[in-house]
Structure 1
Amino acid sequence: MEQDHGGNITAAAEKYNLNPDEIIDFSANINFLGPPESVLEVLQNNLSAIKNYPDPDCSALKSVLAQQEQLQEENLMIANGAVELIYLVAKVLNPNRTLVLAPTFSEYRKALESMGADVEEFQLTRQNDFKINVEKLLPRLDEVDIFCLCNPNNPTGQFLAREEVMEIIKYAARCDTYILVDEAFVDFLDSEVTVIDLVTEYNNLFVLRSLTKFFAIPGLRLGYGAANQELISKLAASHDPWNVNYFAQLAGEVALKDKKYIDQTKKAIVQEKDFLYQQLNNYSQLKVYYPEINYIFVDLTASEWTASRLEEELGQEGILIRNCNTYSGLGEEFIRLAVKSREENLVLINKLKKLI
């Protein structure tokens, strides 16, 4: 069941002969609170609207986002998940030489290679706790057309401060290199690191956001990007018509206005990530990286377990974890665990007590 992403409950249920409802999924980094009640209610109340085509311009949602991000609507594009925009940027910019982190989200490489680009890697190391050395990174930008920066990074959870990202953007602007900054998990951070406000200042910057993870609506597929108006116009001219369905647009519009849910999520994530981290940190055989967001990166090297063996053992018990052996630069020594509810976290911890 090797795959490049977590969250494949259907495949897991079939493999382990389980009911999907019996599975606890730590492999996908989705808000454990589930979708806002406001979203579920508005979807149920508007089912009859399925008979109409969705707004091809996502006007209502774009208006909400423009107000939230303090940008013009012309600086924004809504997409069928953030991944659609990664492929669109690769298509429109059509770069030759490109740079990605290793390890990082796999779709950057796939999108760039689909356009025939040469993809180079900037290696992150365990000796440096997988942190990005900006001083060493900058000279590499002279050599490439586009650099994809996942901030916070997936799967390591490490992130650069806003000032460091700005340093990268400014340097890249001088050498005519595009910077794609993927902020899919930035809403879970306590720190303010976003650079989305800089898209009107720097023409070499594209900022990517996801709405599915924080608001727990991955089945609807919803993301957005921000850039200068020229690039947004080119992207809009290149994507498929009606790329965002009506219910996704409606869910995004309502979710962004649900301040109570947003506050509840941030408090719950802080509480449960600290609890899960402390529990995992009790195992001397595990190196547990402190979680800044809603997932935890774990090094199994000192234990007797490989990622695949642990994935299989827990999978048979209905517990899914993210085996990181499909990430470039990692092997059988690393796993990633989403932060879940207290009850679900305890199920995982109690199972690990018997294994490690």
Structure 2
Amino acid sequence: MALLKSAHGGNIREAAALLGIAPGELLDFSANINPLGMPASLRQAIVDNPGCAERYPDVEYQQLHQALAAHHQLPAAHILAGNGETESIFTLVHGLKPRRAMIVIPGFAEYRRALQTVDCEVVEYALRERDGWQLTDAILDALTPALDCLFLCTRTTPPACCRSGACWKPLRSAAGR
């Protein structure tokens, strides 16, 4: 049974109340929120552009898709934007509707939750302490044609575990099998 009623990270008020402490006494690592606060440049941009907050943003993210596509020289259809990572994960899973997917654990719980909503069989690939909880080439043997997708997150993302980018090529090759 979960201690918190909320399934989503970032609910430090509920956690603080449960612990009997002030929310300011907690450092929250359950959500992608900068513990150092908002950068001064962003704060100033908000102050300088109050009109932008007076209308609802583009709910289809079309302008964002176009800008990111142009910047990264990709088709806009290859860009997925959302109102937070959880929305993006659920949108992706509901679009792909995988039958069998692998998640690397420990990792972000939302991948499993999203996959369960489409009745996907979830296969776990557990990181090992002896490997420093980092992804190794051993995952390549676990990637089989029976998998429809693989989710890598937090420290298990290739840039985090393979700073040179050298692990992308074997993962792409394995995905093509």
Scaled to the shorter chain, the TM-score interval is: 0.7 to 0.9
Which of 14, 17, 21 is residue 17 of structure 2 equivalent to? 14
1:144 aligns with 2:147: yes
1:25 aligns with 2:27: yes
- Displacement of 1:120: 0.9
For residues 74-120 of structure 1, the C-alpha deviation after alignment (integer angstroms, 9 at most, x for no partner) is 43232111221211121111111111112111111111111001101
For residues 142-185 of structure 1, the C-alpha deviation after alignment (integer angstroms, 9 at most, x for no partner) is 2211111225338xx961352212211222123xxxxxxxxxxx
Question: Aligned partners of 1:99 and 1:169: how far apart in 2?
Answer: 15
Contact 1:97-1:120 within 8 A present in 2 as well: yes
Which of 97, 103, 113 is residue 100 of structure 1 equivalent to? 103
In structure 2, relative to structure 1, the CA distance for the partners of 1:8 and 1:71 (3 Å cut) is same
Contact 2:101-2:122 within 8 A present in 1 as well: yes
1:61 aligns with 2:61: no
Deviates more, 1:126-135 or 1:87-96: 126-135
- Displacement of 1:134: 2.0
Question: Aligned partners of 1:19 and 1:139: how far apart in 2?
Answer: 45
Which of 159, 162, 171 is residue 160 of structure 1 equivalent to? 162
For residues 177-230 of structure 1, the C-alpha deviation after alignment (integer angstroms, 9 at most, x for no partner) is xxxxxxxxxxxxxxxxxxxxxxxxxxxxxxxxxxxxxxxxxxxxxxxxxxxxxx
Question: Aligned partners of 1:70 and 1:49: how far apart in 2?
Answer: 27
Question: Aligned partners of 2:70 and 2:34: how far apart in 1?
Answer: 24
Question: Aligned partners of 2:12 and 2:139: how far apart in 1?
Answer: 40
Residue segments in structure 2 that go unaligned for 5+ positions in a row: none
Q: What amino acid is the match of 1:143?
A: A
Q: Secondary structure at the match of 1:171?
A: helix
Which of 78, 82, 105 is residue 79 of structure 1 equivalent to? 82
Question: Aligned partners of 1:10 and 1:56: how far apart in 2?
Answer: 28
Q: What amino acid is the match of 1:114?
A: T
In structure 2, relative to structure 1, the CA distance for the partners of 1:40 and 1:13 (3 Å cut) is same
Q: Secondary structure at the match of 1:127?
A: helix
- Displacement of 1:62: 3.5
Q: Secondary structure at the match of 1:152?
A: helix
C-alpha RMSD of the superposition: 2.9
1:43 aligns with 2:37: no
Q: What amino acid is the match of 1:93?
A: L
Superposition map of 1:186-197 within 5 A: none
Amino-acid identity (%) = 27
Contact 1:152-1:160 within 8 A present in 2 as well: no
Question: Aligned partners of 1:53 and 1:26: how far apart in 2?
Answer: 28
Contact 2:135-2:156 within 8 A present in 1 as well: no
Question: Aligned partners of 1:26 and 1:49: how far apart in 2?
Answer: 29
1:131 aligns with 2:119: no
Superposition map of 1:216-227 within 5 A: none
Superposition map of 1:194-343 within 5 A: none
Larger radius of gyration between Structure 1 and Structure 2: 1
Contact 2:28-2:35 within 8 A present in 1 as well: no
Alignment coverage as a number of residue pairs: 171
Higher relative contact order structure (alpha carbons within 8 Å, sequence separation ≥ 6): 1
In structure 2, relative to structure 1, the CA distance for the partners of 1:49 and 1:165 (3 Å cut) is closer
Q: Which has the higher strand share?
A: 1
- Displacement of 1:49: 4.8
Residue segments in structure 1 that go unaligned for 5+ positions in a row: 175-356
